[in-house]
Structure 1
Amino acid sequence: KAPSVPLQDIVEDSTSGAADAQSAADTTEPDTAVVDATEDTKVRPADKPLATQNPPQSQDSSGWVAAVHYSGTPDQIGAAVANGSFAAPAAGTKAYEKAWVDAKPTNGQMGPFGNGSATVWLAGTVKVDDDVAAILRLDRIRAAYVNGIQVPGDVYGHGLARVAVPLKKGENLVVVRGRGGQKVRVGIETSSAELHLNALDWTFPELRVGSDASTWMGVPLLELTGSGQSAIRCRVVDSDHWKGSEVALAGLAPLATSHASFRLLPKSAWTEPTKEGDKGIPVTLRVESMQSDFAYQWTLHLKVLPADAKFRQTFLSPVDRSVQYYGVVPPTDFDSQKSYGLALSLHGASVEAKGQANSYSPKDWLYVVAPTNRRRFGFDWEEWGHLNGLAALNDAKTRFNTDPLRTYVTGHSMGGHGTWQFGVHHADLFAVVGPSAGWDSFYTYGGSKKPTGPFIRARAHSDTSSFLSNLSNRAVYVIHGTADDNVPWSEGKNLYQKAKQHTSDIQYHWQQGAGHWWNGDKSKGADCVDWPDLFTLMKERKLNPTELTFSFTTPGPWYSESYSYARVRSAKSPEANCKLVSSFDGATLVLNTTNVRTLEIDGAALKAKGLTKITLNGEERALSDEPLIVGPTTGKRPGVHGPYNQVMHTPWCWVWPKDKPVYGAYVSYLSSTWAIIGNGQGCAVSDVDVSDEIAANYNLIHVGRSAKDAGAPDFVSWDDAGVTMAGKTFAGSAIQLIWDSGDRLHAAMWAPKGQESLLYMVVPFSSRSGMPDFLIWGNSGLSATGNFAADWSFDPNLAIGF
């Protein structure tokens, strides 16, 4: 039976629930070996002449009116905006069943209107003399619609994000959708350039005296021609300080925003810190593309810090090739001959990673490394925040050559939740798990309903308590204020009691009368994170790299795959956790598995322990220095396993039909959303620009292409009549799915002609956006969904709606 579930109840808004529950307490916290880039080898454009650049010109808007909508009744404004029939009413009138009021900006801001549970709609106009590209600032706004074209806003109102839209000669209607109870800002500038770097939102390193190490810089790049661009060259210009370098970005969708990455190669070590009041070291960036007539150039400045200062370290993300950063507290009296530990510290909502690092006092025995959650709010340290934390950890361990057996995880508030998450899902990485003011899950803290059907498995990782047994061989230290009015003390107490059932090596500190963020005189940093007893425990604990007695449960190998000597490569069924139970009696090593289809055993590690065989599920197997792989190596496997979001766990590229600009606009929306929410790089090319090199280096997500052109499985097809899967047709429906393309995951998104707005119902970038292998939906909601079998075949028993 087809489920009658509104799609918005399945794909949750990235700003609802627990992330928003983080109060201003978080904002009171302190301010603010190298991985090579993989460059596309497509033929590069010839050097273009340098453009004469003029700054974007501010444009006035006028006639703003506002109306407020509360849930419980149909949103007729939203419906009219979606179908293109909306016209701005006059202030003091009633239209679309709502009263409209004057919303003239004051000091550039409008509102607030209604309360926090409301949706506020605002409409105004901007008049220009010619067709031109506009650069929008959309603070505290979910989305804007300019002449019907939808673009994302910055719901958190940081004031840094920019997106592009086309304006036509004459008057242009601008409609924005935001949350009630907040002031919003709409800024409009125009530019005649082809490309624009938004230096306000850059991701930058801090240089250090004595270092000549290469590093990275990331800056959002806006496409302004409306046609899209490919083979983009992101260059650092040779200068007194820098060697010339170049990194390729395969493509940008029409009017999209995407972070561009720049490689920084110093010519020599930095000799002295930047003096107060000085701009710092200049670095000139240059961009041009295959289609651009000109090259565009900007000069930014980087500060040099003392060698022992806390600093920002950048790295290239293995997820999307964007530049990310983490804050670092280096050890005191650094000695290159010493071995150091590493504490990974996860920040709370609204906190900058460098600010998190500033909360700690330096230690003489370890680094403190504070990654970003992709953004200050980001993904609650799940989904892409989880991936970025692990990437930062791997980069720091390699760069600083720390002792892998002395690695620990801690964090505060949202980062306390992340600490529990990282601890239970990656217990093999951390000797101590130390959450402060942490919460269990969206269900206990944010009040969200648990997902149902196939969505349960796609989001199974989020239910922290279900995986606490993985901490049986770990030390845990729980910190919480008893008067915390943000994350209730009960969250910490309950998790402590649950974890105590699995590990005896557990301690707590309840700070009597303390709120969410608190300090005292116990440490030189902020006591609620730099708690001395926590770091004493860390100093006393080390990992055993090859434990022989353990129990490990994972929601699936796509999220967490390994513990000690064992790695889960594939699950038998997507509908259950995978479990490993290992025991050793001094002579015989026994490993029993549940729901594990393919397993990899580290034979070399076990042989180093003097073992020559293992009894696996009752069958004795010999060990060698090579990995022992038991089970099929085809079908679902590492990197090609699902669920859907995994297609965006390694570099991906959206592909849209050049002759269908409506899909290019949706790809632009996705790319810009990813740039705003995830500080990310969104590769996008038209179907005529896809090269063998792009196909070899990216997971391709085909948007608006036919099933045949996309290479979809033969049991599914789509056309303007609807979607057909396994012989059942869903009329007027859209589809999203993944499949095994051979060496990589591929995906498709498609909607019938005239109903492309259905696609905007699905934007995957939130901490609660985990989705099954496929979705089919229409205007009335979800029609069908499910996961494919372990061999990538369709199984109706793993789906609903059939």
Structure 2
Amino acid sequence: MKLSFFLLSLLVLQGIAPGQAQSIHTFNEGLYVENVHRYGREVRFTDPLAHALAVGTFPSPAEGQPFIQEEGEVWKSLSANEEGRFTGRIRSGYLSLSYHSAKSQKALLKISGNSMVYVNGIPRAGDIYGDGWLYLPVSLKKGKNEILARFNGLWSGISAELQLDPKPVTLQVADATLPDKVLGSGQGQMTGAVVVINATDRRLQNARMETNLNGRLQMVDLPEIPPMTFRKVPFEVDASTLTEKGEYNCSLQLLVGKTVSDTQEITLSARDEAEEHYKQTFISQIDGSVQYYGVAPQKGGPDENPALFLSVHGAGVEAIGQARAYSLKDWGVLVAPTNRRPRGFNWEDWGRIDALEVLEIAREKYRPDPERIYLTGHSMGGHGTWYLGATYPGKWAAIAPCAGYPTLMGYGSADGRIPENASTDTEKTLLRASNPSDVIQLAHNYQASGIYIHHGDADRVVPVTYARQMRGILAAFHPDFSYYEYPGGSHWFGSESVDWAPLFDYFRWHQIPADSAVNTIEFTTANPAVSDSYKWARILQQTVPLEYSRVKLERNPDQMAISGTTENVSILGLDVSNYPLDSIINLELDETQLEWKKNSDTLLYLHRSQETWKFGQAPDPYDKGIYRNGTFKEPFNHRMILVYGTSGSREEKEWAYNKARLDAETWYYRGNGALDIIADREFDLEVHGDRGVILYGNADTNRAWDLLLAHSPIQVNREEIRVGETVYSGEDLGAYFMVPRKDHPQRSVAVISGTGNAGRQTLFANQYFAGGSGFPDFVIIRADLPVVGLESILASGYYQNDWSLPEGK
């Protein structure tokens, strides 16, 4: 069967004479092969080359030869142009580079446009968007070194080079995260971040960063950096001497012990809050990294209780660029979060959390009127507006998606689409994890706010049909939305694409109503840990995990009555704080009639059992619920820490470290992140007690297994995987699963595990970092997943509310 995506590979022979000195080697000859792989927003993927690498049957590329088997796509030659770029329009796949080294040495590998790369069989992160600032420290062996880089989408214009014999430890400032000094704010200390590359075989310890801005020195200790990788590290700047607008040079000095390892310079800006857009940084609770947001300040300077506009950007747009697209408003301040990167996570998953972090920071910093908070965004940010607006009803007085698409099922992006239809029960289970992404199913939540839809009628990037689709859906039930198609408007037709006067007039007319003024509730969620409430109703626990849970409730204050229906709700919470003490509240839920006398409680808990509702207690905080509800991706939060196994064979230990490093590097690239990577023997329950944990290895190879997973209903060793009473045997098995931490009611462990080498290496794919991708609580696979597909998924599913395995198959 011919596959729909392509594989590009490029084989380049250097031909350098022994002893020849060369600091940079540019690859300019090679081979490629296309149309052979498919990655997307699912657990399953298609990649016969990756499978051949995992099982040890991959042949070295040769021109005219099939890439993995006797028949099929063959390797073809390709030459770079005078600028050292391989040009063309070829459906992407793998790029193979070969370098003959006269000695064993370290180097920095830079490839532009690839989604990941194997260096002598070891997986590393890729520069998928061609940003050009990703340098991978690699170990070259004497003789031939082989590189295989994977490319997704439509490939055009790729460059690749090796920087030979680099400094052991260096600074890279091209991807710096920098704040602006806001004049008149009293701001003195500022935090930024830059990349430190450790091109040595030892963990980098005792490193410090000294900054010098206008003669004011600041020194900070840096986190440890594992061998042969990099990390984005924070630094502090004393900006108290900056009193005038302008640009200022700041020097960075990297010290290892007492030795200066590298020095670089950055430029910081001082801005006037009354008239200029600016950037601010903060420490994210997702991973402890430095992030930023852009601000369009209130015109004329900050005022008491302004309106607050949260604006989410499109793909490839920086947050500060998003903020600068807006003129300053005299009645409010606009903040633009990053989605962790210009492309990031489509405002889902960690992009969603980033938006909420910035929203809360803005609430604290600007003290807005709580009734005048608005949401808007463009393109991918238009999708973000649809998504955040539906997911968090009650947070916004009004929302305004501009040139937006509603779902990743209908539109997708560089990571592809979420499939809309499932062909098997297994696929239905996998796709259920993506249910929170489907705003069509959440559409009735939009009744909580006004909506202004803004779209150019000549948009060829996001066709206006998406806006018309949502107009049709809203017309069936929404009492308050406005719709405008800009005549002749393309995808971007200037600042009016977002800064549209009628849109902000519409915002000005809307306020968030008080909870006491809302007596009708219609609310849907697919995951209470993502979104659990609207006004006085809370869905605290589901009956079937990740299916849609809905409530339709009517409150009659005069008759002291609440009535309505529910769907897929196990525990319901009702805020009764507005009712007088000792008053009698009559409830009718799904034909169950109850009567309750108001006491000092502010939240009334109702439990459903066998189609009947009863009064009960607050949910057990250790059960599934609003703080921890599962999916494999959930533990990637709460300053997550990566713990790799160091027991077992050399092959097992190398896999665990290489996989942890690949995830950390990919997380940095996709999420501007910074993660702690530690060995299993370093993990401490007390030291790391409040963190999400990502564990690599199995019970035989990771010393932290018993500390964290002794209670897990899923167990893995070298020979088998046990899922409850079911045993899967063999050396070709892999597993993604999560379990709750037994020592904490809100933290969890994600486990990336396998039996033998083939099963483990199949897990090098890490498309769980794609926004909206569906990974259930647990998935057990065989190593032939990349060539067989769904039939290689042996088990998948969701735990019950007490974290036990689901009953039946």
TM superposition score category, shorter chain reference: 0.7 to 0.9
Is the 2:709–2:739 Cα contact (8 Å) retained in structure 1? no
Shift of 1:362: 0.9
Shift of 1:481: 1.4
Instruction: Indicate whether 1:746 and 2:749 are aligned.
Output: yes
When the two structures are aligned, how many residues end up with a matched partner?
728
1:423-452 per-residue CA deviation (whole Å, 9 max, x = no partner) reads 111121111011111112122224652253
**Which residue does the alignment assign to 2:138?**
165
**Which residue does the alignment assign to 1:184?**
158
**Which residue does the alignment assign to 1:680?**
673
- The verdict on how the C-alpha distance between 1:796 and 1:265 changes in structure 2, with shifts beyond 3 A counting, is farther
- The verdict on how the C-alpha distance between 1:313 and 1:79 changes in structure 2, with shifts beyond 3 A counting, is same
**Which residue does the alignment assign to 1:355?**
321
**Which residue does the alignment assign to 1:434?**
400
TM-score by length of 1: 0.84
Shift of 1:168: 2.3
- The verdict on how the C-alpha distance between 1:90 and 1:635 changes in structure 2, with shifts beyond 3 A counting, is closer
**Which residue does the alignment assign to 2:682?**
689
Shift of 1:685: 0.4
**Which residue does the alignment assign to 1:25?**
none
- The verdict on how the C-alpha distance between 1:621 and 1:777 changes in structure 2, with shifts beyond 3 A counting, is farther
1:396-440 per-residue CA deviation (whole Å, 9 max, x = no partner) reads 221222222111011111111111111111121111011111112
- The verdict on how the C-alpha distance between 1:657 and 1:631 changes in structure 2, with shifts beyond 3 A counting, is same
Instruction: Indicate whether 1:768 and 2:778 are aligned.
Output: no
**Which residue does the alignment assign to 2:614?**
none
Decide which moves more: 607-616 or 781-790: 607-616
Shift of 1:326: 1.5
- The verdict on how the C-alpha distance between 1:616 and 1:346 changes in structure 2, with shifts beyond 3 A counting, is farther
Instruction: Indicate whether 1:530 and 2:499 are aligned.
Output: yes
Q: Provide the C-alpha distance between the structure 2 equivalents of 1:729 and 1:259, rounded to a whole number of angstroms.
A: 42
Shift of 1:122: 2.9
TM-score by length of 2: 0.83
**Which residue does the alignment assign to 2:724?**
726
Instruction: Indicate whether 1:115 and 2:90 are aligned.
Output: yes
- The verdict on how the C-alpha distance between 1:219 and 1:589 changes in structure 2, with shifts beyond 3 A counting, is farther
**Which residue does the alignment assign to 1:271?**
243
- The verdict on how the C-alpha distance between 1:236 and 1:584 changes in structure 2, with shifts beyond 3 A counting, is farther
Shift of 1:624: 3.3
Q: Provide the C-alpha distance between the structure 2 equivalents of 1:746 and 1:90, rounded to a whole number of angstroms.
A: 43
**Which residue does the alignment assign to 1:379?**
345
- The verdict on how the C-alpha distance between 1:637 and 1:443 changes in structure 2, with shifts beyond 3 A counting, is closer
**Which residue does the alignment assign to 1:23?**
none
**Which residue does the alignment assign to 2:471?**
496
- The verdict on how the C-alpha distance between 1:417 and 1:161 changes in structure 2, with shifts beyond 3 A counting, is same
Runs of 5+ consecutive residues of structure 1 not aligned to the other structure: 1-7, 14-55, 520-525
- The verdict on how the C-alpha distance between 1:569 and 1:218 changes in structure 2, with shifts beyond 3 A counting, is farther
Q: Provide the C-alpha distance between the structure 1 equivalents of 2:588 and 2:136, rounded to a whole number of angstroms.
A: 55
Find the partner of 1:67 among 2, 13, 32.
Answer: 32
Q: Secondary structure at the match of 1:495?
A: helix
**Which residue does the alignment assign to 2:550?**
579
- The verdict on how the C-alpha distance between 1:284 and 1:608 changes in structure 2, with shifts beyond 3 A counting, is farther
Shift of 1:272: 0.2
Shift of 1:183: 1.6
Q: Amino acid of the residue matched to residue 667 of structure 2?
A: W
Is the 2:179–2:191 Cα contact (8 Å) retained in structure 1? yes
**Which residue does the alignment assign to 2:286?**
319
1:56-111 per-residue CA deviation (whole Å, 9 max, x = no partner) reads 98431557422222149996654444445656545566664554344343345443
Is the 1:644–1:771 Cα contact (8 Å) retained in structure 2? yes
Q: Amino acid of the residue matched to residue 643 of structure 1?
A: T
- The verdict on how the C-alpha distance between 1:260 and 1:770 changes in structure 2, with shifts beyond 3 A counting, is farther
> Which fold has the larger relative contact order, with Cα–Cα distance below 8 Å and residues 6 or more apart in sequence?
1
- The verdict on how the C-alpha distance between 1:288 and 1:570 changes in structure 2, with shifts beyond 3 A counting, is farther
1:670-719 per-residue CA deviation (whole Å, 9 max, x = no partner) reads 00011111111122100122234542132111101415354243532222
Is the 1:635–1:792 Cα contact (8 Å) retained in structure 2? yes
Find the partner of 1:711 among 709, 712, 715.
Answer: 709
**Which residue does the alignment assign to 1:785?**
796
Decide which moves more: 565-574 or 327-336: 565-574
Decide which moves more: 561-570 or 723-732: 561-570
> RMSD between aligned alpha carbons?
3.2
Is the 2:698–2:716 Cα contact (8 Å) retained in structure 1? no
Shift of 1:775: 0.8
- The verdict on how the C-alpha distance between 1:306 and 1:190 changes in structure 2, with shifts beyond 3 A counting, is farther
Is the 2:245–2:270 Cα contact (8 Å) retained in structure 1? yes
Find the partner of 1:646 among 630, 634, 644.
Answer: 634
1:462-491 per-residue CA deviation (whole Å, 9 max, x = no partner) reads 111111101223111111111211111111
Is the 1:254–1:664 Cα contact (8 Å) retained in structure 2? no
Q: Amino acid of the residue matched to residue 419 of structure 2?
A: K
**Which residue does the alignment assign to 1:565?**
536
- The verdict on how the C-alpha distance between 1:128 and 1:189 changes in structure 2, with shifts beyond 3 A counting, is farther
Q: Provide the C-alpha distance between the structure 2 equivalents of 1:611 and 1:352, rounded to a whole number of angstroms.
A: 54
**Which residue does the alignment assign to 1:664?**
657
Decide which moves more: 429-438 or 747-756: 747-756
**Which residue does the alignment assign to 1:30?**
none
- Equivalent runs, 1:24-173 vs 2, <5 Å: 58-62=23-27, 64-71=29-36, 77-83=49-55, 86=58, 88-89=60-61, 91=63, 96=68, 98-113=73-88, 115-116=90-91, 118-127=92-101, 129-132=103-106, 134-173=107-146
Q: Amino acid of the residue matched to residue 516 of structure 1?
A: H
Find the partner of 1:205 among 179, 186, 190.
Answer: 179
1:247-303 per-residue CA deviation (whole Å, 9 max, x = no partner) reads 664x5444333332334454x36310125xxxx1425364659xx998766543312
Q: Secondary structure at the match of 2:362?
A: helix
Q: Amino acid of the residue matched to residue 259 of structure 1?
A: K
**Which residue does the alignment assign to 1:620?**
596
Is the 2:458–2:491 Cα contact (8 Å) retained in structure 1? yes
1:311-335 per-residue CA deviation (whole Å, 9 max, x = no partner) reads 1121111211111112111111124
Decide which moves more: 533-542 or 94-103: 94-103
Decide which moves more: 556-565 or 68-77: 68-77
Is the 2:32–2:77 Cα contact (8 Å) retained in structure 1? no
Aligned identity (percent) is: 26
**Which residue does the alignment assign to 1:551?**
522
Q: Provide the C-alpha distance between the structure 1 equivalents of 2:128 and 2:799, rounded to a whole number of angstroms.
A: 35
Q: Provide the C-alpha distance between the structure 1 equivalents of 2:28 and 2:378, rounded to a whole number of angstroms.
A: 45
Q: Provide the C-alpha distance between the structure 1 equivalents of 2:803 and 2:47, rounded to a whole number of angstroms.
A: 40
- The verdict on how the C-alpha distance between 1:608 and 1:315 changes in structure 2, with shifts beyond 3 A counting, is farther
**Which residue does the alignment assign to 1:735?**
735
- The verdict on how the C-alpha distance between 1:297 and 1:84 changes in structure 2, with shifts beyond 3 A counting, is farther
Is the 2:452–2:481 Cα contact (8 Å) retained in structure 1? yes
Find the partner of 1:425 among 383, 387, 391.
Answer: 391
Is the 1:84–1:148 Cα contact (8 Å) retained in structure 2? no
Q: Provide the C-alpha distance between the structure 2 equivalents of 1:235 and 1:100, rounded to a whole number of angstroms.
A: 47
Is the 1:288–1:296 Cα contact (8 Å) retained in structure 2? no
